[in-house]
């Protein structure tokens, strides 16, 4: 009985694996920005922060490599992803509002798989 219960839980968890596209979609919905804008080359402040948050979540939640993060976000360089992850990681420790935003995005992400 235990094997059946655990087996069904594991198979349902595996079928609901978070992908980089899920992270991009969840974050763009949260900030009400189109995925086209997120993936674009614009450096507007209202796009840069959500983009950096996407990079941070991709790295922290699904352990995506820096080169893959850059590629998923419009062909950016891996050093851009590294900078974004470091920056957001530091800001989360100092800024409770940002931490709550990221937690809300994660909750939205996992509830809508």
Burial class (CB in 10 A: 0-12, 13-18, 19+), 3: exposed
CA distances from 24 to 5, 28, 37, 39 (A): 32, 6, 11, 9
Stretch 86-112: mean pLDDT: 93
Cα–Cα distance between 65 and 46 in angstroms, integer? Answer: 25
- Is 6's pLDDT higher than 70? no
Cα–Cα distance between 24 and 91 in angstroms, integer? Answer: 20
pLDDT of residue 112: 77
In sequence order, the 6+-apart residues with CB closer than 8 A to the CB of 26 are 105, 108, 109, 112
Between 4 and 112, the more confident residue is: 112
pTM: 0.83
> What are the pLDDT digits (tens) for 17-63?
889 999 999 999 999 999 999 999 999 999 999 999 999 999 999 99
Structure tokens at 58: 């991709």
Stretch 61-76: mean pLDDT: 93
- In which residue are the tokens 């939640």 written? 61
- Is 109's pLDDT higher than 60? yes
pLDDT of residue 111: 84
- What's the pLDDT band for 15 if we cut at 50, 70, 90? very low
- What's the pLDDT band for 4 if we cut at 50, 70, 90? low
């Amino acid at each position: 009985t235990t094997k059946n219960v655990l087996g069904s839980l594991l198979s349902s968890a595996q079928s609901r694996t978070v992908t980089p596209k899920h992270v991009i979609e969840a974050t763009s919905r949260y900030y009400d920005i189109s995925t086209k804008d997120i993936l674009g080359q614009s450096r507007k402040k209202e796009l840069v922060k959500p983009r950096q948050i996407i990079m941070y979540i991709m790295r922290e939640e699904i352990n995506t490599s820096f080169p893959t993060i850059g590629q998923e976000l419009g062909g950016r360089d891996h050093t851009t992803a590294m900078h974004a992850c470091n920056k957001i990681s530091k800001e989360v420790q100092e800024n409770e509002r940002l931490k709550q935003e990221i937690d809300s995005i994660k909750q939205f992400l996992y509830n809508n798989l």
